[in-house]
C-alpha cells in the first residue's frame, strides 16, 4: 500500500485561526477535508498533504481572499514556523538559507519538493506539490517559502 504524504498540522492550524479571526465559521471545514480538529491542536500533529491543500483552497473560497495562502504566510511570526524556519534564519546568507530550506523541506512536508539551480549570482527555486493531482490555485503558498 502506498504511503500517504503528510505535512505538519501547524500550517493548517494557522489557517483555521486566521479564518476564525475574520468571523468565518470553521465547524464544517474539518468534515469537508476529512481531518479531525484534534489533529490541528496537537503541536506535533501531522495531516495528509492533500487535506492541507484542500483546507487552504476552502479557506480562500470562504474568506473571499484568492491570495489567502500568501497572506497567511506573511502574517505569522518566523519563530512560530518550526525547525525549518530556524534552519533558514540561522543560515549565514540568503543563498544558504534557500539551500537549507530545500535540503530539509522533507522534515515539514512529504507532499512538496523544492528544486534549486544556481548559475553565477542567479538562483532559481521551483516548488512542486508532488502528491496533488490537481494544482492548488490559492492556498499552497501558506508556508511562505
| 82-136 pLDDT, tens digit each | 778 888 889 999 889 888 988 888 778 888 888 888 888 888 888 777 656 555 5
Does 1 map to a domain?
no
- Looking at the structure of the chain, the number of domains it has is 1
Does 67 map to a domain?
yes
Mean pLDDT lowest among 21-25, 71-75, 93-97, 140-144? 140-144
Cα(58)–Cα(31) distance, rounded to whole angstroms? 12
Nearest to 13 by CA among 82, 67, 89, 61: 82
Residue 36, domain extent: 6-143
Give the pLDDT band (50/70/90) at residue 140.
Answer: very low
Nearest to 112 by CA among 6, 3, 12: 6
Does 76 map to a domain?
yes
Does 75 map to a domain?
yes
**Mean pLDDT to the nearest integer, 45-51:** 90
What pTM did the predictor assign?
A: 0.75
Amino acid at each position: 500500500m502506498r504511503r500517504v504524504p503528510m505535512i505538519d498540522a501547524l500550517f493548517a492550524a494557522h489557517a483555521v485561526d486566521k479564518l476564525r479571526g475574520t468571523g468565518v465559521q470553521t465547524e464544517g471545514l474539518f468534515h469537508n477535508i476529512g481531518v479531525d480538529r484534534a489533529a490541528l491542536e496537537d503541536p506535533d500533529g501531522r495531516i495528509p498533504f492533500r487535506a492541507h491543500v484542500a483546507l487552504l483552497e476552502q479557506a480562500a473560497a470562504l474568506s473571499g481572499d484568492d491570495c489567502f495562502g500568501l497572506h497567511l504566510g506573511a502574517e505569522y511570526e518566523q519563530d512560530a514556523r518550526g525547525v525549518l524556519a530556524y534552519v533558514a534564519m540561522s543560515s549565514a546568507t540568503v543563498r544558504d538559507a534557500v539551500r537549507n530550506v530545500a535540503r530539509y523541506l522533507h522534515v515539514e512536508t512529504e507532499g512538496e519538493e523544492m528544486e534549486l539551480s544556481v548559475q553565477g549570482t542567479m538562483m532559481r527555486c521551483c516548488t512542486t506539490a508532488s502528491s496533488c493531482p490537481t494544482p492548488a490555485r490559492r492556498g499552497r503558498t501558506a508556508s511562505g517559502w
